[in-house]
């Protein structure tokens, strides 16, 4: 059945912007700085425009933070990863610096994003657009034949992307056996890194993610498709973040993204869910290994993955200078990790990258970066919370609008999570694509029939009910 499309006029995402006080416009002095950025490190850059880097992003993206080149060599792999050098273009203590520290990150709504930086910078002079020479922090990471990093460095460079690619197109090229030469080794690299992740005890949770998509003069809600290329490309970013964390920990100064180990209660609950769903949990196997071995599209997998989100609670940021923080690892990744690969869209990356550049270059960390570190965790916690709420509000509004006028109708649904006395069950509908709360006690992991009981666009709330046959 074709996805439900609703006229653009049916929605008003402006109300959500107002509710969360999201302001797209920048003050004039910040705009002036963004329109005429000065590369403060121009004289220090190596010319690496010889590298045939490519970007991989969603179609239409213009704020391109990263460009990649992967080479298969006799000893393993050499990865070059260029990251937009935002720290060199935003004047410390200036008007633009102040505004970005208030915003924290880019917020994405279906009709328009609310950017961290003015678009003239984030989609123009700083973006790694194809065939444009750009300032970058260029990572070079050597890996052995098992895909394990053995050496890494980062330096300021001039780079030039040779192609702007998108995930679906790259996947099609790999499927056809004709990948771009700059990333021909991506599949082998990605598979090895995924295997290494399981051995580290990482936890990769793949859930159906809803997205509101514009289609001409209408909207539709669909699931975000995740290709193999998505996973392979994510491994490049994760690898870089792990190397960055190691640099900062060795120097005892920096900013980490952390996650404490899963609680015994969360692990016990997941084991119980596995038993209920008939999923084997071999003796000694980690939760990550069990999840990685599940068939991607099975109903039991979606139910298991939904319950597994309980393992990843408590994500935070840890700034340190001298004394290491109590938690240094990211349990979901199975290693120390730092955000450094998306500085156009996330504030923390600018500062962590600056620390890494200084440590590797054996120079003093700039005062503006070092003194800001203690304040960044609070800024990022707040902006992460807002981003999550904005995303949820947009989806909730779309779901309620799609289902308005259909209260009382029955729908086929998959039970992602059963009721447990503290919370209602959660069900997934594939027509229309909706994830909602459900009263009653529908059996976890099974397909059932539910009745829509609430669809209120004002409160952005939907609810279903289940009655045992």
pLDDT at 1 over 60: no
pLDDT at 10 over 70: no
Q: Among 90-94, 208-212, 230-234, 325-329, whose mean pLDDT is lowest?
A: 208-212
Are the beta carbons of 432 and 4 closer than 8 angstroms?
yes
Are the beta carbons of 138 and 80 closer than 8 angstroms?
yes
| 389, burial (CB in 10 Å: exposed 0-12, middle 13-18, buried 19+) | middle
Tokens 């090229």 sit on residue: 173
Are the beta carbons of 367 and 352 closer than 8 angstroms?
no
The two tokens of residue 332 are 């979901």
Domains and CATH numbers, the chain: 13-260+317-390 (no CATH), 264-309 (no CATH), 404-466 (2.40.50.140)
Pairing of strands 425-430, 410-417: antiparallel
pLDDT by residue (tens digit) across 406-426? 999 999 998 888 888 788 999
The two tokens of residue 133 are 């020479």
pLDDT at 335 over 90: yes
Q: E strands of 106-170, at which residues? A: 107-108, 113-114, 133-144, 149-166
Could you tell me the pLDDT band of residue 210, with boundaries at 50, 70 and 90? Answer: low
Average pLDDT over residues 249-266: 95
Could you tell me the pLDDT band of residue 287, with boundaries at 50, 70 and 90? Answer: very high
Q: Which of 149, 150, 179, 185 is nearest to 165 (CA)?
A: 179
The two tokens of residue 432 are 């229309």
Q: E strands of 59-119, at which residues? A: 66-73, 76-84, 107-108, 113-114
Dihedrals φ, ψ of 133, to 5°?
-75, 130
| Dihedral sign, Cα of residue 54, residue 60, residue 61, residue 64 | positive
The model carries a pTM of 0.90
Pairing of strands 149-166, 46-47: parallel
pLDDT by residue (tens digit) across 129-151? 999 999 999 999 999 999 999 99
SS3 content of the chain, % helix, strand, coil (to 5): 35, 25, 35
Per the prediction, the chain carries an average pLDDT of 92
Pairing of strands 461-465, 433-439: parallel
Are the beta carbons of 318 and 219 closer than 8 angstroms?
no
- Of the chain, the end-to-end C-alpha distance in Å amounts to 27
Report how far apart, in Å, the C-alpha atoms of 271 and of each of 262, 311, 425 are. Answer: 13, 12, 18
The two tokens of residue 182 are 């700059």
Pairing of strands 5-7, 46-47: unpaired
d(C-alpha 140, C-alpha 195), whole Å: 22
Provide the pLDDT for residue 224.
Answer: 66
Could you tell me the pLDDT band of residue 225, with boundaries at 50, 70 and 90? Answer: low
d(C-alpha 64, C-alpha 121), whole Å: 11
Q: Among 29-33, 113-117, 213-217, 345-349, whose mean pLDDT is lowest?
A: 213-217
The two tokens of residue 309 are 């989100």
E strand or H helix that includes residue 415: strand 410-417
Q: Which residues contact 371 (CB under 8 A, 6 or more apart)?
A: none
The two tokens of residue 160 are 């030039």
Secondary structure of residue 425 in the 3-state scheme: strand
Give, as one character, the DSSP assignment of residue 209. Answer: -
The two tokens of residue 179 are 């990948």
Provide the pLDDT for residue 2.
Answer: 41
pLDDT by residue (tens digit) across 60-114? 899 999 999 999 999 999 999 999 999 999 999 999 999 999 999 999 998 889 9
Are the beta carbons of 300 and 278 closer than 8 angstroms?
yes
């Amino acid at each position: 059945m074709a996805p439900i499309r609703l006229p653009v006029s049916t929605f008003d995402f402006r109300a959500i912007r107002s509710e969360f006080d999201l302001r797209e416009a920048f003050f004039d002095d910040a705009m002036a700085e963004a329109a005429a950025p000065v590369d403060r490190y121009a004289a220090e850059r190596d010319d690496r425009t010889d590298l045939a880097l490519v970007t991989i992003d969603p179609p239409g993206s213009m704020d391109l933070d990263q460009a990649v080149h992967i080479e298969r060599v006799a000893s393993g792999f050499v990865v070059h990863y260029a990251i937009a050098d935002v720290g060199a273009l935003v004047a410390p203590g200036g008007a633009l610096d102040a505004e970005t520290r208030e915003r924290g990150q880019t917020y994405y709504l279906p009709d328009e994003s609310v950017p961290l930086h003015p678009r003239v910078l984030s989609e123009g002079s700083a973006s790694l657009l194809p065939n444009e020479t750009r300032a970058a922090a260029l990572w070079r990471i050597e890996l052995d034949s098992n895909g394990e990093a053995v050496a890494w460095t980062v330096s300021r460079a001039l780079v030039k992307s040779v192609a702007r690619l998108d995930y679906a197109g790259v996947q099609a090229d790999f499927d056809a056996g004709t990948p771009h030469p700059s990333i021909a080794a991506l599949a082998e690299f990605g598979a090895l890194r995924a295997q290494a992740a399981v051995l580290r005890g990482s936890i990769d949770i793949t859930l159906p993610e809803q997205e509101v998509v514009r289609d001409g003069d209408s909207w539709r809600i669909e699931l975000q498709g995740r290709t193999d290329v998505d996973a392979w490309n994510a491994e490049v970013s994760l690898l870089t973040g792990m190397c960055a964390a190691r640099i900062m920990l060795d120097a005892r100064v920096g900013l980490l993204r952390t996650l404490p180990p899963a609680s015994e209660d969360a692990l016990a609950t997941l084991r119980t869910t596995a038993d209920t769903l008939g999923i084997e949990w071999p003796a000694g196997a980690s939760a990550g290994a069990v999840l990685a071995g599940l068939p991607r599209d099975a109903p039991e997998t979606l139910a298991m993955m939904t319950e597994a989100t309980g393992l990843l609670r408590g994500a935070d940021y840890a700034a340190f200078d001298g004394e290491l923080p109590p938690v240094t690892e990211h349990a979901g990744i199975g290693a120390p990790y730092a955000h450094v690969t998306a500085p156009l869209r996330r504030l923390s990356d600018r500062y962590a990258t600056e620390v890494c550049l200084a440590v590797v270059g054996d120079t003093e960390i700039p005062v503006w970066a070092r003194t800001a570190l203690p304040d960044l965790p609070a800024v990022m916690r707040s902006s992460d919370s807002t981003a999550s709420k904005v995303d949820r509000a947009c989806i909730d509004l779309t779901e309620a609008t799609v289902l308005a006028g259909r209260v009382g109708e029955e729908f086929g649904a998959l039970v992602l999570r059963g009721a447990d006395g503290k919370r209602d069950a959660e069900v997934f509908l594939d027509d229309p694509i909706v994830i909602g709360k459900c009263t009653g006690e529908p059996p976890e992991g099974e397909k059932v029939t539910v009745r829509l009981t609430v669809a209120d666009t004002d409160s952005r709330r939907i609810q279903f009910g289940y009655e045992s046959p």
